[in-house]
Amino acid sequence: MPFSDLPNEVVHLILVPAVWVRGLKRAVRLRLVSRTWNAAVEDAIFDSGILDENGLVNRIRREVDFAFWHRYLIYRALHNAKPSSMGLVLIRQTAERIVEMRGRNLADSQEAVRECVGELCHAVLVFGGCGQISTYLAPEAGAIGRLDEDFHLFRRALVSAAAYMNDLDLGRLALSSHPDGRPPNDRAMMYTLGIFFDPYQLAAYRGNKDFISLLLDNETETTIQRSSHRATIAYSAIMGSQMGVLDYALGSSFSTDSSDYMVLRESLVSGLSTIPSIDIFERCFDLVKDRLQHPCRPYNGIHRQKWLLSRLHTAAECGAVPVMEYLVKQGASVNGRFSDKESPFSRPISLAALKGHEDAVKWLLSQGANLDRSLQAAVAGGSRRIMQILMDHGAMNDKSAVKLALLEAVETEREDLFRFLMEHGAVFDDATRKEAVEIAEEEQLESMASFIKGF
């Protein structure tokens, strides 16, 4: 949906106050109209400052994706007009210092700074998660000036950034600036600030084995510290689907009989929750399949089934069909329900439909998955193709499911999907019409209310 002939600057001036007038929830939905609208509306949301309002960030957390938060973190790190958090200041100043250390002039290298900020913000979201976005944004009580390079968190951030970027030269330079040749270890503070994490973690996630070796060469470790690093490397390698680094962490002879198996078992189990590649999933599952129960309790087959089911749901959300196939072979049910109080969708097929994973939906249907609320989920996800697949499998025969899908189209302001449902035989009776109008009026969707009344 293209804009009018108005200049982009004028459109932006219109959209910024419109975000406040119409509300953040509607602005977020408007992004879905087209790529052009997406970029323009996101810019307006960011410039409006509406995300600074208490609670709004958490309220829309499930309605926007990784890319949205990535762009917003970059925006906040690069714009200094508002009180900033220590995390954002560290991102910006670390990026600037990296550009300088690479021999670039800051005045002429703003694009290089932006690219570096983008990488660091990506690392923050990968390891901190979008669910913790508000902690990255919480402003400090006072203004934060230029950070001293001897500040331990700043020095650690430099090493962590180099690890993520696999910049060995930068890593050597950053490590050599430390009094003892090692990065400062203050994990608790790093997690609290929601910024850069363990450099071993970042290097392993990116598959940067040479950088891991550099870090280890600069360590004077105790046995406990060495095991901790190994567990961190293993977990992050699983997250990043880095088989080479995982082999490096486990070693060729690692098995359930290894002396440090119990130390690494938790990392392997936790890493599997991230749904890595099927090769890594199989390798790790084979090592932990008999130890999925609580470590302090006797074996419990029910716990194992719950674990398999929760992984199947995550795999469906990721569209990881090979992993789903493997989990079903291990005993997970394609119709298993996994409760999530924040979401109405509790079965794999609904989660796959919500996230737009067409191949996953097709595979689940081929395995006899019940339709559940998948039609409503497909509407919420905005996928007409998945709606059609579900309709071809009888989704329109369930009147209550069709009603929920119609109401979802109203709430998400998708007239096109509402029409699509009606064209395929949806029944829009008086009771449903009344409920749809109430939703539209409650959400102040005037155009949608008029559309329903006149349909």
Tell me the whole-structure pTM to 2 decimals. Answer: 0.84
Q: Six-digit token pair at 163?
A: 């690890």
Distance CA 165, CA 119 (A): 8
Over the chain (455 residues), the average pLDDT of each successive run of 10 is 65 81 73 62 85 74 81 87 76 90 80 93 83 72 71 83 91 74 50 64 94 85 66 94 93 82 88 94 92 58 84 95 97 86 85 96 97 95 95 96 95 92 93 92 84 82
| Contact (CB, 8 A) for 165 and 119 | yes
The residues, any chain, with a CB within 8 Å of residue 317's CB and separated by 6 or more, are: 351, 352, 354, 355, 357
| 3-state SS string for 323-359 | HHHHHHHCCCCCCCCCCCCCCCCCCHHHHHHHCCCHH
Q: Produce one character per residue of 445-455: b if its CB has 16 or more CB atoms within 10 Å, e if not.
A: beebbebbeee
pLDDT of residue 25: 74
Residue 50 DSSP code: G
166 CB burial (10 A radius; 0-12, 13-18, 19+): middle
Whole-number Cα distances in Å, 289 to 95, 259, 272, 286, 446: 42, 18, 11, 6, 54
Question: How wide is the angle at C-alpha 15 spanned by C-alphas 11 and 19, nearest 5°?
Answer: 175
Q: Six-digit token pair at 172?
A: 């050597």
| Contact (CB, 8 A) for 45 and 19 | yes
pLDDT of residue 221: 59
Distance CA 212, CA 168 (A): 10
Distance CA 244, CA 239 (A): 13
Whole-number Cα distances in Å, 208 to 37, 221, 381: 38, 21, 35
| 3-state SS string for 210-267 | HHHHHHHHCCCCCHHHHHHHHHHHHHHHHHCCCHHHHHHHHCCCCCCCCCCHHHHHHH
105 CB burial (10 A radius; 0-12, 13-18, 19+): exposed
| Contact (CB, 8 A) for 181 and 159 | no
Q: Six-digit token pair at 129?
A: 């998660």
Q: Six-digit token pair at 444?
A: 């102040």
Distance CA 205, CA 446 (A): 47
CA max distance for the chain: 76
